Each structure stands twice: as C-alpha cells, then as structure tokens.
Structure 1
Amino acid sequence: MKQDPTSHLTLEGGLGRRRFLNTAAVVGLAGVAACTDKSGATAATAASAASQAPGHSAANAVHLKPGELDTYYGLWSGGHTGDMRVLGLPSGREIHRIPCFVPDALVGWGVTNESKKVMGTKPNGDLRYTVGDSHHTHASYKDGNYDGRYAWINDKINSRIARIRLDYFVCDKITELPNVQGFHGIFPDKRDPVDPKINYTTRVFCGAEFAIPLPNTGTEDATTYRSLFTCVDAETMEVRWQVMIDGNCDLTATSYDGKLAATNQYNTERGARYEDMMSAERDACLFFNVARIEEAVKAGKFKTIGNSKVPVVDGTLESNKDPKTALTAYVSVPKNPHGVNASPDQKYFICAGKLSPTVTVIELSRVLDWFDGKLAKLDESIVAEVEVGLGPLHTAFDGRGNAYTTLFLDSQVVKWNIEAAIKFQKGDKAAKYVVDRLDVQYQPGHVNASQSETIAADGKFLAVGCKFSKDRFLPVGPLHPENEQLIDISGEKMVLLADHPVRGEPHDFIIFKRELLSPKPVYALDDFPLAVKDPKESGVVRNGRKVTVKITSQAPAFSLREFKVKKGDEVTLILTNLDKVEDLTHGFAIPKYNVNFIVNPQETASVTFIADTPGVFWAYCTHFCHALHLEMRSRMIVEA
C-alpha cells in the first residue's frame, strides 16, 4: 500500500477521506495496520537536518562519550519477559532488568527461597505462575514529582501487581488482585485526599479490563459480567477496596490533588464479542471520588465477593446518578478510547478515541463541581473534543501546554496545544491547535516524555513504542523486534533521534531525571535475617533429614571448600556475600540440581532442594569476580 500523500496535512478543518464516517470503517483496521508502510526517508532526513540546525545536536544528544552518564532514567515494561527494564536516556542503553513475574536465570529469581516467597508458590513449593505479561509501570510521588521510593508494574495475565524498591532496584512484593482478569492500567495517587498533610503516594489504582461473573461461577451470560476497579495500599501492598463498575477498564490516571482517579473505558456495551464491544459511538472516562469511596468502606457500605474479604462498593451508573452521594462519574467520550493522561498543569485529563479521530479534554475542577452538585451535566466537564488523526491512543506532555498523542493508524505522533484546542472548541476556528506531526516507524502505541505526568515536566525528550518495525532493522525471520524511538521535543518541531530494537512486547514507561534517585551500591548485611556474618559461622547443621548449609563468599573463595549431605536430605543452602566492594557480585551454581543464583555485596540468599542424586558436584561462582574466578568452587558430596 502506498503512503497517503495527504498524511502530513493539518486536520483541524476535517479529515476528508481519512475521517471515520461510521462504525463500519473499523472493519478494515487490521488490514490498514498490516499494510501501512513508509520508506523511512522522512525521518532520516529530519534527523539529518536537525543535526545541522541551530539549537539541535542530534548526534551528541544520543551518542554519549565513554564514561559519560545519561541524564535520565527510563523504567520500561518488559512485556512477556515479565520484568521491568531500566534504560539510560537519551542514549537508550539498557542498564538493568528487574525480574518480577517470571523466573530469571541470571539472578536466580524463582530459584531462591526469598524470590519464591515474593512470587508465590503452590503447596508443593513450586511457583504458582511461570508466565507474565507486564504492561504499565509508574513510580511513587511526593509534592507532584517522583520521589525515588517505589515503582509498580502489572501482570495482565495473572492479575498481579509488583512493587520495585528503587533504592536497590529489586522487586520486594507481589500482590494478586481478587476477582479480576485482564488487569491492565495502573497509576499511583499523587497525594492522600483524606489527609491534606500527606502529600505523597499512599495508594495504587488498578483497572480490570475483562468483565467476568462475580463470583466466577462460569456462566456464559455476559450481561451478568462486571469489572472491578481496585485500590492497593502502597506500603503494605494489600488490597484496600474495589469498585464494581459498568464497562471495561483500560488505562488509569490520578489527579494531583489526590481527589480523583479515573479509567478510560471501552465496551460500555458490556459485550462478549468484539463487534458488540464497538457498536456504540461513545464510551466513557470513569471518575472515582476517592474520599467518598473510603468513607463508604469505613461506614460498612460494601459487600464481599466469593472467598475474598476485600470490601467492594457499588460504582455502577444506575447506583450513582445523584451527584451529591455518587462514588463514580461516567463522562461520555468517543469511541473505544485507549488512554487517559493527566496534564502537568493539574487541570485536565486527556482521553484519546482510538476508533474516533478525536482527543477529549476534561477539566477536573468541573468533575469535582458535578460531585458537589454545582454542575448540571457531566458532559459540561468536557472543554474540548477535537480531531487529531487516525487511531489516537496515548498522550504525553512537555510542560509548555503541548500534548503529544500517538496515532496508531497514521503511524505518527501529533503535537497539539491544549489551550488552543479549547479555544477551537469554543468557536475560534482560527485557533490552530495542531502544532506538528512526525512520522514514526510504525503503528505507535505508548508514548511518554521526560517527567511528563509530573509538575516538573521539562519537554526535553519523548519516547514512543512502535508495535511494528518492518524495514528498520536487519531481518531475523518472521518474529520482528519492536521499535522504540527517541524524539527531541525541545523545539517547535519534533526531531527523530534514534531507533532501538526491542524484543516484544513491551508497553508503557516513564522517564525522569537521574537526580531523583539515589540507588545504594551495596546491601546492608543486617537487613537479612539469615545472614552468615562471619566465615567461622559456616558449616553443616543436621536436624533429622533436614540439613542447613551455611556458606560465605569472599573473592576468590567460598568459606566451605566442600560439604557433605546424604541422599534424600532436604538441603537449605544459605550464602552470604561478605565482600563490601561495589560491583563485586558472586554466583552459586550446582550442576544437575537446577540451582543457580547470585548474591550482591553484603546480600544473603538461600535455596532449598532434595539431594536425590549421589555423587560429587562442583558448585562454582557464576559471576566473574576475581583473577581466580575459575578456581572459586566448592564440592557438594552427596553420600549414598
């Protein structure tokens, strides 16, 4: 299919042949997405021109000198690898992967007892789940900006939320949400709405994309299915409450004053098949009055579902028509929206239409006015609904009043001005709200900018995740990588800086200044109850058929050069790395026993296994640590 010669035109006056005329236009979406192709020359030419333009240095921005550090961190979802990726930006270098939902052979995640406890196990000790689908990642706030304490990421497949400690960049807790399937969007609150003195994150909100029977008895009658919106305590990671709603949740957003959480909704039709899910021309952006919900829970106005003891309040449309008592508010937006984002000026939520060429600007103060009975109709909270292009999905911000929305079908990022869009909506047809367009390669999904959804949005860089890469990289057979592209948004025009191939299928991400984090280079030995603090404590302790082996590591030796156990013993091996030197990590692998894990400086980890095969097994260090690394071994002798 040839490129549309009008794809670069500003669309305020109408979309011509590209405008969605009716629901039937959606039938061709899959074909359009598969066939759309571009030469890439436009982006390459733009980047080349930018490198020569005043104020731009594209090459210097991306290619750092040896030893030069990036100015931003990026936290990316890992997709089906079930982890969180840590990038340095603007270089795009992957610095680290934090395993969460899926076992990881490098660090021993899912092998050590400590990681199994976090991941969750069956009664027999096996991991409950070994697959994941991590989608969205967000971090904790204080005073409207990131505070470097935590990040969270979701697993859509098994409805789990993981918390990452940003002092050590490790997952420390995972919670499975009850009565939920298709857990998709997450977002932490930015302050506590009940106590104004608490100006930091205390909750994380979670949207369930799939409606199911509640309780899940297996009925095929989809008219009885419901979705739940969930609140998780940021510190304990326990589920605080849930809200039963109409329609499916997609993405999630929170207001800066802590009063509102929201999810954009598709399938307000509550259909079970895709043609039913897009029959209506409008869906909703659903707002949650957080303080009222917490008051209802405190007053006992809830029920529980199945075996779960979590309070569930009624947030359905029918039960929340009176604004003065309503817990929820359904704002009508066009068709199957795929994203809701909070502007850094704290005024607006932006919903993108996906199956409508529009973005909707909702003024938050007016939503609060409706809850207070001061606004007659919820629709009056919409201050703009303007066309931007085909397939709008997600929106980022530069802190200068501009929004950047991905257009999946147009394979573009469109830059548009929020206040100009509001003027256009009021009748000022001279208000040119579309500022710029940039072709990306290809079919972009998530987008985010440096510090985008904080009060410190700085408008330096924007990243976009493209679901197709086609001709951008060397061919590797049928499974192509995805393409993450970096864009300079510091000037009036967007400038494409770099392509980065990535294994599919990642989703959302955030970008923030490096000075907001202070990661610790060495663990605190006292944080580990099982720590072997002195090599003299090493040894084998038997309690019947249960054996505990205590070992320390200090380059280039393990404290036990050999240890003996008997066939059939249940062995728990505890290893403490007593080295205090930054970056001096040791590994421990036992051949034929499926044991491999690492301990970082001053860290302790343990594994438990059955010594079921007699013989001599050389346990060795798997992480290069010393000139005598290859000689760093211990013998496990399993006696028959």
Structure 2
Amino acid sequence: MTQDDIKTLDTPPDLGRRKFLNTAALVGLSGAGLSVGLSACNKKESAPAAGAPSAQGEVKGEVGEFGKYEVPPGQLDDYYSFSSGGHSGEVRIYGIPSGRELKRIPVFNMDPLVGWGITNESKAILGTKPNGTPKYTTGDTHHVHQSYTDGVYDGKYMFVNDKIHGRLARIRMDTMECDKITELPNVQGFHGTFTDKRDPVDSKINYTTRVFCGGEFAIPLPNDGRDVNDPTKYKSLFTCVDSNTMEPRWQVLIDGNCDLVASSYDGKLAATNQYNTEMGVHYEDMMAAEMDACLFFNVARIEEAVKAGKVTTIAGSKVPVVDGTRASNKDPKTALTCTVPIPKNPHGVNISPDGKYYACSGKLSPTASVIEHDLVLKWFDGELANPRDAVVAEPEIGLGPLHTGFDNKGNAYTTLFLDSQIVKWNVAEAIKAYKGDKNAKAVVDRIDVHYQPGHGFTSMGETKDSDGKYFISDNKFSKDRFLPVGPLHAETAQLIDISGDKMKLVADHSVYSEPHDSIIVRRDIIKTRQIYNMDEFPLAVKDPKESGVFRNGKKVTVKLTSQAPTYSLREFKLKKGDEVTIILTNHDKVEDLTHGFGIPKYDIQFIVNPQETKSVTFIADKPGVYWCYCTNFCHALHLEMRTRMIVEA
C-alpha cells in the first residue's frame, strides 16, 4: 500500500455516493452549531421485481471465491453468534460463517412454540400479576454477554437486558433456556449491560459474579409523582447484579444517563458512555454542552463503601445506593466514579483484548476516543490531574462512529452509521498521531456496508482470546439487498473477513427486525446437553402408572407421560369450572425426540423435550370433547398421538 493509498483512506468519503439515501435522510448535528445534511432525491422508488438485479446488490468476482465461507450440508459452523432480538424480546442463535438461524430463545416474549409464558414454570420466571396473568407481555432485548473465567467465555451463562421494563435475564448455556429474570428497582431504559470479566485480583474468585447494568433514562427517585415537574431531581442508577443469585448487590446514583457498558479485564473498573450529561428532558436541553462523557466506576471502592454502610436506599427498594454524582466525587482519592469528557453523543464503549484501552466514539464527531485503562486508575490514585488526560488518541475515522470491535493484531473496527462503512484503524498508530507523529496513520482500511451499520463485533472480540477472523456488521437498512417483503424489510448482518490486510465482504445474512448487538463465540466453548435429567423436575411423573386424575374439590391435577406415539392416558374427565393443572413428562430418551401438547379452544400449547416435565393450569370452562394432541412431529404415528379431554357440564 502506497502513501497515496493511505492518504485516500484517511480522507472522509463522499457521502453522495450512496444511492440508497434517495429515501431521504437528514441528520442535524447540533451542539457546536454544526449541521450536516444528507440530501435525498425526490424520485419515488418501487421495490425491484423479484429476481431483478440491483446496482448495489451485484457481487463482484466469481461465486467460487466465496465458497470457503459456505458450510456444506452435514458440516458444522465454526462459531455461534448470539444476538439480541430487539423488541421481539428474544435472543437468537446463528451459526457463523453460514448465517443459519439455529434457535430463538424466548426470554421476555410469549412463545407458543415452546410454551414460554404459557407453562407454569415459565410464568414463574417471567412473573405474573396476582390474578395469574403475565406482569408484562412485551420486552426489548439489546445486549447479550456471557459469563467469563479470567477474561474468556466459560460457557456457563448468558445475560441479556430488557430495556423497556428494566429487567435482566439469565440464560443457561447448557440448555439455551432462560432460567431467571430480575427486575431492577428504580430504573428506566435499562440499555447497556456487561458481565464482569474477572473479579478483583485480590479476590479468591476468578470467575464472573457480577453483571453491570446501566439505567439510561433519568427519572425522579422515587418515581412516585412528587417531583415530575422538577428535572433537577431526575437521576439515573448504575446497578450491579449478582450473577449467581440474580439479586441486585448495589446501585450508584449518577448524573446523566448510561448508554452502553464495558468491564475491565482486571476486575477493577466498569464503564458506561453517557450522552445527555446536561440532564435535559427535552431535545434542545440534551444538546447544550460541547462534550459528553465516559463514566468509570471503581468497583472495589464502591463495594467498600457498601460494606462500611455509606449508603442510602430509595423508597420501594432495599438495595444499597452509593453517591456517584460528579459533585460528590471531585476528590480522586475518595471518588467512586471518574468522568472522562468525550465528544458529543457517544454511543458505545468497548475495551481492547489486551485490557489497555477503551474506545468510546462521540457519534456527532468524526473521531474515536481512546482512553487508557491505567491512566484512569492513576486518576483514582491522585496521580493524574485531569480525567481528560486519560484520552491518549482521537483519530478522525469518519461520520457517525458507533461501536468498536477489536482483532488480535492491535486493530479496531468501528461502525460508521452515516458513512455506511466499517473503518479499520490501528490503536498504536492512533496514539502516535495524537502525540504529534506526523508519519503515523491510524486508518488502515475502509469497506462499504449496506446500509447504516449500528452494532458491529469481531469473533471472540469481547475476550482476551480475540482471533481476528470475522467482523459482523449489523445494518439497520437493507434496501435492495434481498427479495422485497413489504414495508418492513429484513435487516442485514454482513459477514466480513478481517483476517488479511484488507477487509472483505463475504456474505449477506438476512435477519428479522430488530437485533441490536451480538457476540461471536467459538463452538468448542459451548457445551450443551441433549436430553434432560428427569430427577431435576419435582413434578416429574416418573412412571406411567402414576398417571391419572387427582381431585381435591374443584382443584384437579392430571398427570400424564408421553412416549412416542402415545400419551399414558387415552382420555381424562373433568367437570365444568374445575381449576385444572396438567403435568406432562416426556419419557423418551432419544435426542431430538420432542413432544408437544395442544388443547383446542383453551389456548394451551407447549412442548416437552426428552426427560423434561412441564405443567399448565387453567379453568375448564367449556364443556365438551377436546382432543389434546402432539403438536411437535415425533413419530410415524404422530397424527394418532392424542388423548381426549372430556369436560362434563
């Protein structure tokens, strides 16, 4: 690559090249009086006919050069990709590099396929109102992160947030099923979350026990109506949840909000990028300051303060709260938090695999800010006068920088929302340039994506074992990339090979709206079980001879087993008005032999996997005959797998 080539790479691209902007995009960048307009054509476009090639959709080169990224029939992918599902409330699993969707894990959503939100077991996890109906029927998953042992995924748990209702869910990785949900007290807009990569080094524990959770929306605390018209009383909370008990350990009262979250590899710091440090409640108030911030939390000091009782509580919660506001943390030697000024409206903070640097990009600035971990610690020790001096690089990389992933060669990859690009830049070169080295060139490469990338992530990039093989760009627009399916388009997860000097776009993977963030995990880390252990289920019907109808007044329990192609009861009788609990245990031991149980007109459907037990409770309020049938194809005589539920008037 010549010096001229590098100069071209460092030059901001021509925004007019993107044809897709004819759907009208206008971005006002306020704060410093800067306004960038992306003008649009007035021409109205219709969707291309199926099969008609589009200019942007044409692939350069022979199909054969992409063959190595395909996974032949019968072979397995090298990686799992775990992705949030956005306002579907679920988590999704894809194989990489194939992009094949492998599973959707219901978490905060109802899912009749598996019976999530229908069975008693899932309702107990989701939470219900006193009348037994779901407490919430919506969810908004954004960020998924796994548990760690010494900086590397350990395959034990995965955690995901619910932004809309302030909940954190834990997913068991051996079954890929949610087993616990916690609602955070006094929090709205729970956006960013991250597991601790390692407990403090002076601890005897070296595995994840903390999950850090950032509250995005500032609200009156307590939010009971008393201070709704006094924005000076609005605050946000940063929460630490114990990953084992799934109960909040502590909360930190802060100014501004929390967007995304990062954790250090030595267990000493957690971080969140902040926009709206002005604490504004209206748009113009949120854009008044020249800078926003990246806020760092000194984990050991916070836990010492909690232990010493230097806490308060907020009405309706017993969780200890410490004061992390700017006014109360001016003395570095006693401060619990450190505020590092960052260009306006940062979206995302990510730490490099070597644990030395955080990348935090203000999306209204064409730069990425690099913050040195050790310098933040020096500020806490009183050895650094100005927190802004912890910023050691600020390369100009392009318009609309959002999220950054890292490879194993010292390079960073940042999504540029406005430029519709991924930019590859070298951290060491960026630091040299910041120090005044005119020969240093931070930007290494650029690649166009289609279009407007939000989150982006590298393979194993959130661990110290980042391998520098793949980058996935989750794009918010996919116009003309796929067959048209109406106004709601699929989104695009574009697979980019980053193993060489030049990035290479190798696949378009369509995804259903609207994922936010993902992680790519080596397949050898994930160890799943293929069947359950019947002894784990207290209600298990262990012997078909235990089947039957057991009445206690108007409360009736029906115990059943399933074993292809029959249920243990050919029929069972109820009376109108009975409160019925059906308990079903799958006695098959064959991997992948799942049975379903559906009751017509009673809105009940769930599945039981091999050796699993589930139960449902309902009121038998409709007299008649109802054929309960297996909903999950299981056997050559699957259609005959039925039992009669007879409800007598």
Shorter-chain-normalised TM-score: which range?
over 0.9
1:152-201 deviation per Cα after TM superposition (whole angstroms, max 9, x unaligned): 11111111111000000000000111100000000000111174331111
Whether 1:149 aligns to 2:150 is: no
Whether 1:302 aligns to 2:316 is: no
SS at match of 2:223: coil
SS at match of 2:379: helix
How many residue pairs match? The answer is 626
Seen in structure 2, the aligned counterparts of structure 1 residues 190 and 235 have a Cα distance that, compared at 3 Å, is: same
Give the drift of 1:363. Answer: 0.5
Give the drift of 1:131. Answer: 0.7
- Equivalent residue, structure 1, for 2:623: 614
Greater mean deviation of Cα atoms: 426-435 or 370-379: 370-379
Q: How does 1:397-436 map to 2 (within 5 A)?
A: 397-436=406-445
- Equivalent residue, structure 2, for 1:138: 145
Identity %: 67
Separation in structure 2 between the aligned mates of residue 238 and residue 573 of structure 1, nearest angstrom: 31
Separation in structure 2 between the aligned mates of residue 318 and residue 226 of structure 1, nearest angstrom: 13
SS at match of 1:304: coil
SS at match of 1:386: coil
Question: Counterpart of 2:178 in structure 1: which amino acid?
Answer: C
Q: How does 1:324-335 map to 2 (within 5 A)?
A: 324-335=333-344
Give the drift of 1:221. Answer: 2.1
Separation in structure 2 between the aligned mates of residue 284 and residue 530 of structure 1, nearest angstrom: 52
Give the drift of 1:223. Answer: 2.2
Give the drift of 1:110. Answer: 0.3
Q: How does 1:67-466 map to 2 (within 5 A)?
A: 67-193=74-200, 195-218=202-225, 219-466=228-475
Greater mean deviation of Cα atoms: 560-569 or 272-281: 272-281
Separation in structure 2 between the aligned mates of residue 85 and residue 8 of structure 1, nearest angstrom: 39
Question: Counterpart of 1:77 in structure 2: which amino acid?
Answer: S
Q: How does 1:522-533 map to 2 (within 5 A)?
A: 522-533=531-542
Q: Using structure 1 for the length normalisation, give the TM-score.
A: 0.94
Give the drift of 1:43. Answer: 7.9
- Equivalent residue, structure 2, for 1:635: 644
- Equivalent residue, structure 1, for 2:67: 59
Seen in structure 2, the aligned counterparts of structure 1 residues 227 and 541 have a Cα distance that, compared at 3 Å, is: same
Greater mean deviation of Cα atoms: 496-505 or 354-363: 496-505
Question: Counterpart of 1:332 in structure 2: which amino acid?
Answer: P
Give the drift of 1:21. Answer: 8.9
- Equivalent residue, structure 1, for 2:24: none
- Equivalent residue, structure 1, for 2:49: none
- Equivalent residue, structure 1, for 2:488: 479
SS at match of 2:545: helix
1:238-280 deviation per Cα after TM superposition (whole angstroms, max 9, x unaligned): 0111101011110000000000000000000111112221222
Question: Counterpart of 1:263 in structure 2: which amino acid?
Answer: T
SS at match of 1:243: strand
8 Å Cα contact 1:563-1:635 kept in structure 2: yes
- Equivalent residue, structure 2, for 1:596: 605
8 Å Cα contact 1:223-1:271 kept in structure 2: no
Question: Counterpart of 2:79 in structure 1: which amino acid?
Answer: Y
Give the drift of 1:58. Answer: 2.4
8 Å Cα contact 2:29-2:36 kept in structure 1: no
Separation in structure 2 between the aligned mates of residue 175 and residue 471 of structure 1, nearest angstrom: 41
Question: Counterpart of 1:186 in structure 2: which amino acid?
Answer: T
Question: Which one of 20, 31, 36 corresponds to residue 23 of structure 1?
Answer: 31
Question: Counterpart of 2:184 in structure 1: which amino acid?
Answer: L
Question: Counterpart of 1:161 in structure 2: which amino acid?
Answer: L
1:182-229 deviation per Cα after TM superposition (whole angstroms, max 9, x unaligned): 000000001111743311110000011100000113312222211100
Question: Counterpart of 1:613 in structure 2: which amino acid?
Answer: K
- Equivalent residue, structure 2, for 1:4: none
Question: Counterpart of 1:105 in structure 2: which amino acid?
Answer: P
8 Å Cα contact 2:144-2:517 kept in structure 1: yes
Separation in structure 2 between the aligned mates of residue 10 and residue 268 of structure 1, nearest angstrom: 36
SS at match of 2:601: coil
Question: Counterpart of 2:128 in structure 1: which amino acid?
Answer: T
Separation in structure 2 between the aligned mates of residue 23 and residue 585 of structure 1, nearest angstrom: 57
8 Å Cα contact 1:43-1:440 kept in structure 2: no
- Equivalent residue, structure 1, for 2:476: 467
Question: Which one of 550, 555, 574 corresponds to residue 583 of structure 2?
Answer: 574
SS at match of 1:422: helix
Give the drift of 1:128. Answer: 0.5
SS at match of 2:395: strand
Question: Counterpart of 1:202 in structure 2: which amino acid?
Answer: T
Q: Using structure 2 for the length normalisation, give the TM-score.
A: 0.93
- Equivalent residue, structure 2, for 1:562: 571
8 Å Cα contact 2:57-2:481 kept in structure 1: no
Question: Counterpart of 1:166 in structure 2: which amino acid?
Answer: M
8 Å Cα contact 2:149-2:206 kept in structure 1: yes
Separation in structure 1 between the aligned mates of residue 611 and residue 146 of structure 2, nearest angstrom: 27
Contiguous gaps of at least 5 residues in structure 1: 1-6
4+ residue stretches of structure 1 with deviation over 3 A?
Answer: 7-35, 39-46
Greater mean deviation of Cα atoms: 391-400 or 214-223: 214-223
Q: Alpha carbon RMSD of aligned pairs, Å?
A: 2.3
8 Å Cα contact 1:32-1:409 kept in structure 2: no
Give the drift of 1:502. Answer: 1.7
Whether 1:502 aligns to 2:488 is: no
8 Å Cα contact 1:43-1:439 kept in structure 2: no
Separation in structure 2 between the aligned mates of residue 295 and residue 25 of structure 1, nearest angstrom: 44
Question: Counterpart of 2:92 in structure 1: which amino acid?
Answer: R
Separation in structure 1 between the aligned mates of residue 90 and residue 369 of structure 2, nearest angstrom: 33
